[in-house]
Amino acid sequence: SGRVEVLHGETWSTVCDADFDQQDAEVVCRELGCGLPVEVLGAAAFGRGEGQVWSEELQCRGNESQIYFCPTSSSLKHNCSHDSDVGLMCAGKNSVRLVDGGSRCAGRVEVLHRDEWGTVCGFNWDKRDAAVVCRELGCGDAVDALGGAHFGQGSGPIWMDNVDCFGSESTLKHCRSVGWGKHYCDHSWDAGVICSGKLESVYSSTNNRLF
């Protein structure tokens, strides 16, 4: 949670509260690996920023993996000062992670349900499903969707099986499956994902920017 700041070139800029909506918030929380947005706060709720105010209006659709992929409008409706810096509270850590792949953007897919991490069965697992995971983690595009426990077998529950995503969902939990905890496979079928990577372009901070 904190004041939203966007890196443009080598300069961090704040964002006007009148030009920032729920779809923009979804992209920022996702890119930071902080789950879904809880509340958008205006009027410099986390303090006034310094330097420039972002000079374009963000027009995110809500499913982008990074704020830089959002369309913008150069015709600002509002001329804002730092008194209107927007702040954002996100839900917390993501409900999906990639494990044993050497980076946070590749590995075995694990889903958090009822405070317990479990795996996803790789039956019918495809690029559209992988795309949702990569977007949710802010890891770019899906490079490969893998089954057969490519990144090793997990342990614990198998939470999802026969996952069927449209590819536009904001979180894997919104995709269709046979039901939580219902499955027709064992851990030798655990699904994996390789994403294209991660570009850090947004940082939300109440105090200092950390690089």
For 158-206, what is each residue's pLDDT tens digit? 999 999 999 888 789 889 998 888 888 999 999 999 998 754 334 344 3
More confident residue, 57 or 118: 118
Give yes or no for a contact between 57 and 76, defined as CB atoms under 8 angstroms apart: yes
Band of residue 78 on the pLDDT scale cut at 50, 70, 90: low
End-to-end CA distance of the chain: 17
Cα angle 33, 36, 42; round to 5: 105
Mean pLDDT to the nearest integer, 75-80: 66
Pick the CATH number of 2-93 from 1.10.3720.10, 3.30.479.30, 2.30.33.40, 3.10.250.10: 3.10.250.10
> What is the CATH class of 96-195?
alpha beta
**Tens-place pLDDT, residues 99-118:** 999 888 899 999 988 878 99
CA 161 – CA 153 distance, rounded (Å): 15
* Arithmetic mean of pLDDT, 111-138: 90
pLDDT given at position 27? 87
> Residue 130: what pLDDT?
96
What average pLDDT does the chain have?
Answer: 83
Q: How far is CA 198 from CA 27, 113, 117, in A?
A: 14, 25, 23
Which pTM does this prediction carry? 0.57
User: Where are the CATH 3.10.250.10 domain residues in the chain?
Assistant: 2-93, 96-195
